[in-house]
């Protein structure tokens, strides 16, 4: 407008050597000005190369060409993709052994380096799938997809695969693209846990389908991710649930298959979760709007608090987001949570379930290894294991937490059953939730890194807890366990309240069987797993899928009409692994997130060695 034009001419009038009329610069001044301008543009453009990959600006200006995976050993991931298209009876893509030798010849290094330079230019920080594969100790799918040599075990494994196919086919038929299948009414369920994100059962199933060799089904799932997984939703999501199912599911699909689509989707989603950490302490709130980034606490959480098992169950996935994006921000966010928890005063060494994201203080003194607390402890030991045993803080925090748990919560019933009670400001509630049954497996996988004099003790404790959880199953009419069982009021390992009698296809007891099998090879764990298969078939299988039941103590089933996505991601995966050889997703290379999505152990020294080799060759 006229006013602003006048203001501009006033400004120029004040500059020495500049006439306001027609901005009459002298030729030499114009030249200097243009030189300065082009210098500035070059500088800005150059600076883009130094920004981390995840910065949006960089991606707009320097759109990266997708790097086809690099040839490793006898095969390549491009070949693998071809194999995915073959009929399902044919070879499973990762069955051909990758070259896992770390001492590659110089010639190999040179040829690989050439590929890296071609596609990534100078960006040596970019995640290399080929490098990651070389740093694994074993092939992810084993010598023969973990096929057991014993025919009886193999038959059981095939049965589990059939259950997965049945659950998947019905989901596909009646609920495709929705979050869960409602098997009685034969329709889909969206719910409000994922902020408008869809396809939870698809994301949760990707890795299970893949390891079972259900390749047609896996390809359908992958295609849905490519064409229909829309991350631009605008609803209120549980940060925890989106992280463990979507972030975890996409991460493990990427690590297993090398398909770029999973990586780009998970990085896009990861960015959307970051605003949840914008609180005075950096402790995220439980609910986040994925569109606007606003976050708040659950209405039911006392005094606007955040939940231990929610903000304490981000570590594994966020560290991997940093790995893949080469952006440290994700690790910084979870390390900040860790720092605060490490520093804060803990009653009797215990971690209460509610913490204020504003003051950083505990809000209530309720401690539980079941719901609200559970996976926080799991992620401590798994962070240590996933860091190739370098994360000393996680190790220290885990073993001191376990000591406090043993001193305050672990109890023995009159009938000789070991269980984990809950703690309310010093008063024990003699109840154990189904969720707490994951702790058998957790204590088992942590046994070996405890102080030498306690290792056997931890393994025994893990076995005792798993035994108690098995008892909670055998003491019911359906041979499935209730949501919570008690050790008071005359009962032992049984639910005394009507409201605790349901079973919603949860995995925790079977999860502990799987770990205990891997650790001890005691055949009873496979037998217990088989009992669960029979019970699921008898009481939860309906015409169009699997459903939870309302009362485990009666055989006249009342179904809840819900096939939970964790049934496909956890319950059936753990059963399948239980009846497989140990070389299917070997624990030397993989840790499972709390939704049973396998994430690889990060071998920093191996990855860095490789980086150094690449650099030397380039010089």
Q: How is residue 431 written in tokens?
A: 């109840």
Residue 543 bears catalytic tag: no
* Min separation Cβ 571 and ligand DMJ, Å: 8
Q: How many CA atoms within 13 Å lie on the side-chain side of 588?
A: 11
Burial 496-530 (b: 16+ CB within 10 A, else e): beeebbbbbbbbbbbbbbbbbbbbeeeeebbebbb
Judged by CB, which is closer to ligand DMJ: 72, or 380? 380
Active-site position among 508, 551, 560, 610? 508
Residue 364 CB neighbours (<10 A) = 15
Is 593:316 a contact under the CB 8 Å cutoff? yes
Instruction: Tell me whether residue 273 or residue 435 sits nearer to ligand DMJ (CB atom).
Output: 435
Closest to ligand DMJ by CB, 161 vs 573, is: 573
Task: Please pick, among 77, 112, 207, 241, the residue that the annotation labels catalytic.
Answer: 241
Active site residue: 207, 483, 595, 614, which one? 483
What gap in Å lies between CA 358 and CA 100, rounded to an integer?
A: 48
Q: What angle do CA 564, 569, 570 make, to 5 degrees?
A: 90
Site residues (vs ligand DMJ, CB under 6 A): 244, 375, 435, 506-507, 566, 570, 594-595
Beta carbon nearer to ligand DMJ, 145 or 592: 592
C-beta of 267 vs 568, nearer to ligand DMJ: 568
* Shortest spacing between CB 566 and ligand DMJ, in angstroms: 4
Choose between 80 and 568: whose C-beta lies nearer to ligand DMJ.
568
Ramachandran angles phi, psi of 474, nearest 5°? -70, -25
Instruction: Report d(CA 9, CA 433) in Å as an integer.
Output: 76
Q: Which residues contact 535 (CB under 8 A, 6 or more apart)?
A: 473, 478, 479, 480
Yes or no: say if 439 and 377 are a contact pair by the CB < 8 Å rule.
yes
- We find the least distance from the C-beta atom of residue 504 to ligand DMJ, in angstroms, to be 7
d(CA 19, CA 332): 53
**Residue 230 catalytic?**
no
Closest approach of ligand DMJ to the CB of residue 438, in Å: 7
Question: Hunting for tokens 């995840």 — which residue is that?
Answer: 54
Catalytic residue, candidates 217, 317, 374, 391: 374
Nearest distance, CB of residue 230 and ligand DMJ, angstroms: 22
Place of tokens 């499935």: 480
| Residue 387 per-residue DSSP state | T
Q: Is 508 among the catalytic positions? A: yes
Q: Residue 594 annotated as binding?
A: yes
Q: Which residue is nearest to ligand DMJ (CB)?
A: 594
Quote the least distance from Cβ 353 to ligand DMJ, whole Å: 14
Residues 509/552, Cβ–Cβ less than 8 Å: no
- C-alpha 310/C-alpha 296 separation (Å) is 13
Burial of 191 (0-12, 13-18, 19+ CB in 10 A): exposed
CA 225 – CA 171 distance, rounded (Å): 16
What is residue 243's DSSP assignment? Answer: I
241 is catalytic: yes
CB of 168 to ligand DMJ, least distance (A): 18
User: In terms of CB distance, is 242 or 461 closer to ligand DMJ?
Assistant: 242
Q: What does the angle CA 397 – CA 329 – CA 369 come to, to the nearest 5 degrees?
A: 30
Q: Which residues sit in the known binding site? A: 594
Active site residues: 241, 374, 483, 508
Q: Which residues sit in the known binding site for Ca(2+)? A: 594
């Amino acid at each position: 407008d006229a006013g602003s034009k006048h203001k501009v001419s006033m400004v120029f009038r004040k500059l020495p050597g500049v006439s306001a009329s027609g901005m009459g610069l002298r030729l030499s001044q114009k030249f200097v000005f243009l030189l300065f301008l082009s210098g500035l543009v070059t500088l800005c453009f150059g600076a883009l190369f130094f920004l981390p990959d995840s910065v949006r600006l960089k991606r707009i200006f320097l759109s990266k060409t997708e790097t086809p995976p690099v040839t490793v050993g006898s095969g390549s991931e491009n070949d693998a993709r071809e194999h995915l298209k073959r009929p399902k009876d044919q070879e499973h893509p990762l069955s051909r052994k990758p070259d896992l030798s770390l001492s590659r010849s110089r010639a190999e290094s040179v040829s690989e380096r050439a590929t890296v330079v071609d596609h990534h230019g100078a960006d040596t920080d970019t995640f290399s799938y080929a490098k990651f594969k070389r740093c694994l100790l074993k092939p992810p799918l084993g010598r023969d997809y973990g096929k057991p040599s014993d025919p009886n075990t193999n038959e059981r494994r095939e049965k589990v695969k059939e259950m997965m196919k049945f659950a998947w086919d019905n989901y596909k038929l009646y609920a495709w693209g929705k979050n869960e299948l409602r098997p009685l009414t034969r329709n889909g369920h969206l719910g409000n846990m994922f902020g408008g994100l869809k396809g939870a059962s698809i994301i949760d199933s990707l890795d299970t389908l893949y390891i079972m060799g259900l390749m047609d089904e896996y390809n359908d799932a992958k295609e849905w991710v490519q064409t229909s997984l829309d991350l631009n939703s605008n609803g209120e999501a549980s940060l925890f649930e989106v992280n463990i199912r979507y972030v975890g599911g996409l991460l493990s699909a990427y690590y297993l298959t090398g398909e770029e689509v999973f990586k780009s989707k998970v990085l896009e989603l990861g960015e959307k979760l970051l605003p949840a950490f914008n609180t005075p302490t950096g402790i995220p709130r439980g609910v986040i709007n994925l569109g606007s980034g606003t976050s708040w606490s659950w209405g039911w959480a006392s005094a606007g608090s955040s939940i231990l098992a929610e903000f304490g169950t981000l570590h594994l996935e966020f560290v991997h987001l940093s790995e893949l994006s080469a952006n440290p921000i994700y690790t910084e966010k979870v390390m900040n949570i860790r720092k605060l928890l490490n520093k804060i005063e803990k009653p009797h060494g215990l971690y209460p379930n509610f913490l204020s994201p504003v003051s950083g203080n505990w809000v209530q003194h309720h401690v539980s290894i079941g719901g609200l607390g559970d996976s926080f402890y799991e992620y401590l030991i798994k962070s240590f294991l996933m860091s190739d045993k370098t994360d000393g803080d996680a190790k220290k925090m885990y073993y001191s937490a376990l000591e406090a748990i043993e001193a305050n919560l672990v109890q023995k019933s009159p009938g000789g059953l070991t269980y984990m009670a809950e703690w309310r400001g010093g008063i024990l509630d003699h109840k154990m939730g189904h969720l707490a049954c994951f702790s058998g497996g957790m204590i088992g996988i942590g046994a070996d890194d405890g102080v030498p004099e306690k290792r056997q003790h931890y393994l025994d404790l893990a076995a005792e807890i798993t035994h108690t959880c098995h008892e909670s199953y055998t003491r019911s009419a359906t041979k499935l366990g209730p949501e919570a069982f008690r050790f008071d009021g005359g009962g032992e390992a049984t639910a005394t309240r009507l409201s605790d009698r349901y079973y919603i296809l949860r995995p925790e007891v079977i999860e502990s069987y799987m770990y205990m099998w891997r650790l001890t090879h005691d055949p009873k764990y496979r037998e217990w797993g088989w009992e669960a298969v029979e019970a699921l078939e008898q009481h939860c299988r309906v015409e169009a899928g699997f459903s939870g039941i309302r009362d485990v103590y009666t055989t006249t089933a009342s179904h809840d009409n819900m096939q939970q996505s964790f049934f496909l991601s956890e319950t059936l995966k753990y059963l399948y692994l239980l009846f497989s050889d140990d070389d299917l997703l070997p624990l030397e290379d993989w840790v499972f997130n709390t939704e049973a999505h396998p994430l690889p152990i990060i071998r920093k020294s191996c990855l860095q060695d490789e980086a150094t080799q690449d650099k030397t060759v380039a010089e």
